[in-house]
């Protein structure tokens, strides 16, 4: 089974359990907590080594996870999910599980995520206008992540899934160059 399929199974199981009435947590809170834990795991070499090492007993890993869950204020469902993932030696897939969880949650909520690269930082008004325009084009509510790309001369480039909307000066120049060379 591929790592994507495994990550998808875990993400789906977490989303289904969190979505149950009376779980006490929202799906968005679980996502935030997964991101928090994943970030901590990636930033601490020692923690990464302890939790992923087959030489460390599972009981020790659970103690460490339990203490971290308490310190981070993780919901019981998220804590127990991390216990299961660790027990099945899938903690190395936590990043992929989090990404699949986010994709499944977005699908459930009818959201699309976009990655926006700009030549200069956008104002909040520009971000709102861009998200409204993208929502109109896609027919879905948008959540955008923004980054400044120093290689762009001006304008912006937006990636929604596998679709790229390139309104950058560089993109326009490349398009012009292709048209000119194909006509010559």
Spatial CB neighbours of 82, under 8 Å, sequence gap ≥ 6: 37, 65, 69, 74, 91
**Same fold? 3-107, 110-183:** no
pLDDT given for residue 184 in this prediction: 59
Please report, in tens digits, the pLDDT of each residue of the chain (184 residues total): 788 889 989 999 999 988 888 777 888 899 999 999 999 999 999 988 989 988 989 899 999 999 999 999 999 889 999 999 999 999 999 999 999 999 888 888 888 888 898 888 889 998 999 889 888 888 888 888 899 988 877 778 888 877 887 777 676 777 777 877 877 5
User: For residue 165, what pLDDT is reported?
Assistant: 77
pLDDT at position 94: 92
Q: Is the CATH number of domain 3-107 3.40.50? A: no
**Which pLDDT score, from 0 to 100, does residue 83 have?**
93
- What DSSP letter does each residue of the chain carry, written as one string? --HHHHHHHHHHHHHHHHTSTT-SS-HHHHHHHHHHHHHHHHH-HHHHHHHH-TTS-HHHHHHHHHHHHHHHT--HHHHHHHHHHHHTT-GGGHHHHHHHHHHHHHHHHTEEEEEEEESSPPPHHHHHHHHHHHHHHHSSEEEEEEEE-TT-SSSEEEEETTEEEE-SHHHHHHHHHHHHHHH-
Task: Give the predicted TM-score (pTM) of the model.
Answer: 0.72
User: Token pair of 52, please?
Assistant: 């992923």
Kindly list the domain boundaries of the chain, sorted by start residue: 3-107, 110-183
Residues 6+ apart with CB under 8 A from 110: 140, 141
Q: Which CATH class is domain 110-183?
A: alpha beta
Pair of tokens at residue 19: 């979505």
Q: Quick one: pLDDT at residue 93?
A: 92
């Amino acid at each position: 089974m591929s790592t994507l399929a495994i990550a998808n199974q875990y993400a789906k199981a977490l989303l289904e359990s969190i979505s149950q009435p009376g779980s006490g947590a929202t799906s968005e809170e679980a996502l935030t907590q997964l991101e928090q834990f994943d970030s901590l795991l990636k930033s601490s070499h020692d923690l990464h080594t302890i939790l992923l090492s087959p030489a460390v007993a599972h009981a020790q890993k659970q103690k460490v996870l339990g203490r971290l869950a308490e310190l981070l204020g993780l919901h019981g469902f998220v804590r127990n999910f991390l216990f299961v993932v660790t027990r099945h030696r899938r903690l190395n897939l936590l990043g992929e599980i989090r990404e699949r969880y986010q994709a499944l949650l977005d699908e459930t909520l009818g959201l699309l995520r976009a990655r926006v690269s700009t030549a200069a930082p956008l104002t909040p008004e520009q971000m709102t206008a861009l998200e409204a325009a993208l929502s109109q084009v896609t027919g879905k509510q948008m959540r955008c992540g923004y980054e400044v790309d120093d290689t762009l001369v001006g304008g912006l480039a937006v990636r929604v899934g596998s679709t790229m909307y390139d309104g950058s000066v560089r993109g326009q120049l490349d398009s012009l160059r292709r048209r000119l060379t194909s006509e010559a």
